[in-house]
Amino acid sequence: MIDATVLDDTRRQIRDRLRALPLDGDAALRTYRLRAMLQEMNVYCDDTAALQDVDAVLLTSARGTEALIAARLDDDGRLRTYARIVARLLVGEMHGPIDAKIEYPAKHATASRQEREEDAVVAFLAGALADGRLDAAPRPLFEDVPKLTLAFTPRTAARSTLGGFHLWSDFWYKRSNMYRRWRSRRDVSHAITRICGALDSRHLVAGH
Amino acid sequence: MPERDEVQIARWDAIRSRIGSGLRGMRGGNRSQAQLAWELDELGFHISQSMVSRYEQGQGEVPLTLERMVGWALCCDALSSEHLREILELGGYSLPWTRGDMAQFDDLLRKYRALSRPDQMVVRRWLLWHLLGLQPIPAQEVPV
């Protein structure tokens, strides 16, 4: 079986690294950074795969995790595909003993609702990642956020309220296309950043 | 033919018709020998249509390796079949996967059958490496 601990660990490490990933540079440089990050997480990347129609395949089993990227892609296509692989590892469900996820160049019809929703989240999150706008996606997807708790002091109550917002945002981001589009708007993500700052002083200190 | 021990030849002679029967069972009726030979070749096995035919009739002279048996089953979506289990047992091979695991491998193969042929072959090739627990060799480095 795929060791869930290994996948969780990879996910956690990617979340940690993503926040510190520089956003400058051209598509080739940014692709290089994403690739290097994946390789560091023991995700073997081969971008010489003779894939004709699909952009990439992500394969994982007890033997390890591998990303096959189509050799035919240009720099921008490769950046977006690597971003999809990273997004897939962050939010995708991989089942043992072996699982494979296919990244299609365009929206692809899938039978199950769960897969459709996962594909949509991956597409939006990858878009945010490739555009260097992680703030366009809910923070729980890529960092630890305050939790909704029973709070008794004004400060913990504010953080708990923020935790509730995050929970709500994460829930709808994974289920609603309309919410994903709305959440990706610049004015909305700026407003949310300000709200996070007002409710959580540590958020401001962290520079988000 | 590579040099082989008499004992090895005798053992292979004793089991090859039963192995052939298992191979035929895996291929079933809806996949031609030519198609199977082509797919095996695409996976990196050097097996011609006539070799497919000979092995199925129990006339193959060289013992079938673990890699070829698994590749055969992979091309026939028969990893979870009783036929593969039997021929692996006959050959004295084993894989570190349960029957349930193998059924999931087959499900995965069926799931991505809608992909184009070249894309399917890429997925199958990598799946084979995972099944056998080998490090993948990039296509240009595969020894001919």
State residue B136's pLDDT score.
Answer: 56
State residue A208's pLDDT score.
Answer: 42
Query: What pTM was computed for the model?
Result: 0.82
State residue B142's pLDDT score.
Answer: 46
Handedness of CA A92, A70, A104, B119 (dihedral sign): negative
CB contact under 8 A, B126 and A48: no
State residue A1's pLDDT score.
Answer: 47
Helix (H) or strand (E) holding A177: helix A177-184
CA dihedral A174, A175, A178, A179 (to 10 degrees): -50
Per residue in B114-137, pLDDT (tens digit) is 899 999 999 998 889 889 887 655
Residue A112 distance to chain B (closest CA, Å) = 12
Structure tokens at A12: 């956690």
Q: How far apart are CA A19 and CA A162, in angstroms?
A: 20
When pLDDT is averaged across residues A96-103 and rounded to a whole number, the result is: 88
Chain A residues inside the 8 Å CB shell of B112: 100, 102
CA A174 → CA A104, A125, A140, distances in Å?
A: 19, 10, 11
Query: Measured between CB atoms, does B123 come within 8 Å of chain A?
Result: yes
Residue A174 amino acid letter:
K
Q: What percent of chain B has pLDDT over 70?
A: 91
Contacts with B5 (C-beta within 8 Å, 6 or more apart), sequence order = none
Could you give the angle at the alpha carbon of A145 between the alpha carbons of A142 and A147, nearest 5°? 140
With beta carbons less than 8 A apart as the criterion, state whether A62 and A3 touch.
yes
ipTM exceeding 0.85, yes/no: no
Contacts with B75 (C-beta within 8 Å, 6 or more apart), sequence order = B31, B36, B39, B40, B43, B124
State residue B87's pLDDT score.
Answer: 95
CB contact under 8 A, A52 and B118: yes
User: Which of A3, A51, A60 is the best mutation test for B, with the most CBs of B within 10 A?
Assistant: A51
With beta carbons less than 8 A apart as the criterion, state whether A60 and A11 touch.
no
Query: Could you tell me which of A190, A144, A150 has the C-alpha nearest to residue A170?
Result: A144
pLDDT mean for each 10 residues of chain B (144 residues): 77 94 92 94 91 94 92 94 95 90 90 89 89 66 46
Structure tokens at B96: 């570190």
With beta carbons less than 8 A apart as the criterion, state whether B72 and B40 touch.
yes
Q: How far apart are CA B138 and CA A171, in angstroms?
A: 41
Chain B residues inside the 8 Å CB shell of A68: 122, 126
Which spans in B1-142 are helix H?
A: 6-27, 33-43, 49-56, 66-75, 82-91, 99-111, 117-132
Average pLDDT across chain A, whole number: 86
Confidence check: pLDDT of A54 > 60: yes
CA A23 → CA A29, A33, A132, B113, distances in Å?
A: 10, 10, 6, 38
Q: How far apart are CA B136 and CA A59, in angstroms?
A: 12
Could you tell me the pLDDT band of residue A204, with boundaries at 50, 70 and 90? low
Query: Measured between CB atoms, does A50 come within 8 Å of chain B?
Result: yes
Question: In chain B, which residue's Cα lies nearest the Cα of A47?
Answer: B138
Question: In chain B, which residue's Cα lies nearest the Cα of A58?
Answer: B123
State residue B135's pLDDT score.
Answer: 63
Residue B25 distance to chain A (closest CA, Å) = 25
Residue B79 amino acid letter:
L
Per residue in A116-145, pLDDT (tens digit) is 889 999 999 999 999 988 888 888 888 888
Helix (H) or strand (E) holding A56: strand A56-61
State residue A114's pLDDT score.
Answer: 85
